[in-house]
């Protein structure tokens, strides 16, 4: 992710903190799991019920926090697309997105209308359209929604996706590395159920806090052999760190059936060697995890 700040790289100091229950299951009991971030200012606690690691207390989630936390992403214009053509990186990412779309299609049995929540600058929407889908993107940032529309001619809406109306239901919804940033994921799942057709597919990608890499880093940190390298301006924008153990019951309660899950590395093009199958499909030790879900009726 690009890390160019448009404002000065000033130290981020939360103005106020709030105590929260587990964002996935609502449990109030939790234990300190890890201090992290700049000067170990932030705390992950682990839910005693579903094992989710979540920030508690966390900086008050208001517009000021959101704007500071996401400023870092807004300069992420196109590493994929320049002067009307795909960059080298763009070709790789295009292939990865096309692979994800084929996986959605395989579960759905067709292509159709697709909603992307958190569409950023619109590259996934472009790939979806080029691959024969009818995509619509929603983005909280108006400037990014407009940029996506301008550069790719794709349909985008700006603002809070939960409160928007979309007309006909969607065949598929796609939301990549967004849901770990928002305070009430259960409300999002309810809305996903409402906007999807009864046999629609939801594809969610999130970080995997139980990746082998992160387990190893946590071990080194506990042994005092490694320190966090957080710059002072960096905000703790993941409100929680998903793991499969906490996500499975969350999906269940939200009324979704988990059809398929696997972990994957950056820039994965869908090829699965024997090693890849063991590491990512069976052990699920990779840094990122994808969940394919269908509303339960």
Binding site residues, Zn ion, CB under 5 A: 22, 24-25, 27, 47, 49-50, 52
Q: At which residue do the structure tokens 């007309």 appear?
A: 167
- Long-range CB pairs of 60-69 (<8 Å, 24+ gap) are 60/14, 60/15, 60/16, 60/17, 60/18, 61/18, 61/183, 61/239, 64/15, 65/14, 65/235, 66/140, 68/12, 68/235, 69/181, 69/235, 69/237
Minimum Å distance from CB 112 to Zn ion? 34
Q: Tell me the C-alpha distance between 49 and 249, whole Å.
A: 10
Which residue, 50 or 206, is less far from Zn ion as judged by CB? 50
Which residue, 200 or 207, is less far from Zn ion as judged by CB? 207
Which residue, 20 or 22, is less far from Zn ion as judged by CB? 22
Minimum Å distance from CB 26 to Zn ion? 7
Minimum Å distance from CB 241 to Zn ion? 12
Pairing of strands 134-139, 113-117: parallel
- By three-state DSSP, how is residue 267 classified? coil
Minimum Å distance from CB 251 to Zn ion? 13
Minimum Å distance from CB 137 to Zn ion? 30
Angle, CA of 187, 117 and 72, to the nearest 5°: 105
Q: Tell me the C-alpha distance between 297 and 81, whole Å.
A: 41
């Amino acid at each position: 992710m690009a890390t160019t700040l448009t404002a000065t790289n000033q130290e981020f100091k939360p103005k106020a903190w709030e105590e929260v229950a587990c964002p996935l299951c609502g449990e109030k009991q939790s234990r300190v799991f890890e201090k992290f971030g700049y000067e170990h200012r932030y705390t992950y606690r682990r839910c005693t019920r579903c094992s989710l690691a979540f920030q508690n207390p966390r900086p008050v989630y208001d517009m000021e926090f959101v704007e500071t936390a996401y400023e870092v992403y807004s300069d992420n214009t196109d590493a994929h697309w320049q002067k009307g053509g795909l960059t080298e990186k763009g070709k790789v990412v295009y292939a990865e997105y096309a692979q994800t779309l084929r996986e959605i299609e395989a579960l759905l049995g067709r292509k159709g209308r697709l909603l992307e929540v958190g569409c950023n600058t619109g590259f996934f929407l472009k790939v979806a359209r080029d691959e024969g889908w009818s995509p619509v993107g929603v983005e909280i940032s108006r400037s990014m929604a407009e940029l996506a529309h301008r550069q790719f001619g794709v349909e985008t809406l700006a603002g809070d996706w939960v409160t928007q109306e979309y007309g006909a239901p969607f065949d598929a919804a796609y939301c990549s590395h967004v849901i770990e940033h928002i305070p009430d994921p259960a409300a999002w799942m309810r809305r996903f159920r409402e906007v999807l057709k009864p046999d629609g597919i939801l594809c969610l990608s999130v970080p995997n806090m139980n990746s082998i890499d992160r387990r190893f880093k946590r071990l080194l940190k506990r042994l005092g052999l490694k320190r966090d390298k957080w710059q002072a301006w960096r905000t703790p924008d993941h409100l929680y760190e998903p793991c499969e153990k906490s996500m499975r019951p969350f999906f269940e309660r939200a009324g979704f059936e988990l059809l398929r899950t696997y972990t994957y590395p950056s820039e994965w093009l869908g090829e699965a060697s024997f090693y890849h199958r063991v590491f990512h499909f069976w052990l699920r030790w990779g840094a990122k995890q994808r969940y394919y879900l269908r509303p339960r009726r």
